[in-house]
Amino acid sequence: MSEIRRATIDDLAAIEHIVAEAFAAYVPRMGMRPAPMDDDYGARIAAGEVEVCVDGDGIAGVLVLVIGGDEAKLEIVAVAERMRGRGLGRRLVAHAEAASRAAGCARISLYTHETMTENRAIYPRLGYVETHRARQDGFDRVFFSRTLAPLPGRPGAPTGGRG
């Protein structure tokens, strides 16, 4: 059984390893290192933006989520090689959506690199809509967004009344 929990600084080396492992395959396609490979995970952990999925063998996945205002930004999803193909990436995305909804966010957004065709194919299947493409920070990015249904009792939530 695995659990998703807030990352601690003790998780830093494992987080960096999993991210490097998950994104290394894209280096030849992109001709450069993907941005997640050079992120400052120590600072992200200190800011409370990193969660990890932990199982009996250690950290199996990494999630970086930035919540602010009515929109959350899903920055990074990375799954350890030993766990690929088991649905952990989808579980991490669902966790990010639930956390965003619980924080009162109406929308969650993300981006991926244009050459990451696997990601560009999976996000629409998870309910995300491509909003635009742009060159940002030297990367050709494809942006996606998803509207989140509000939790019951929150503004904008269905009341269950009959109209």
57-83 pLDDT, tens digit per residue, is 999 999 999 998 899 999 999 999 999
Number of domains in the chain: 1
Is 79 a member of any domain? Answer: yes
- Name the pairing type of β-strands 129-136 and 107-113: unpaired
pLDDT at position 162 = 36
Q: Is the predicted pLDDT of residue 159 greater than 80, yes or no? A: no
For residue 12, the domain's CATH number is 3.40.630.30
**56: containing domain:** 3-106
Is 127 a member of any domain? Answer: no
Is 128 a member of any domain? Answer: no
pLDDT band per the 50, 70, 90 thresholds, residue 51: very high
Handedness of CA 106, 52, 50, 30 (dihedral sign): negative
Is 126 a member of any domain? Answer: no
Contact 2, 60 (CB under 8 A): yes
Strand partners, 100: none
Strands (E), the chain: 3-6, 50-55, 58-68, 71-79, 107-113, 129-136, 139-147
Is 83 a member of any domain? Answer: yes
Q: How far apart are CA 71 and CA 120, in angstroms?
A: 21
Is 137 a member of any domain? Answer: no
* Phi, psi dihedrals of residue 156, rounded to the nearest 5°: 90, -5
Helix (H, G, I), strand (E, B) or coil at 123: helix
Is 90 a member of any domain? Answer: yes
Q: How far apart are CA 54 and CA 58, in angstroms?
A: 5
Q: How far apart are CA 11 and CA 3, in angstroms?
A: 14
Is 67 a member of any domain? Answer: yes
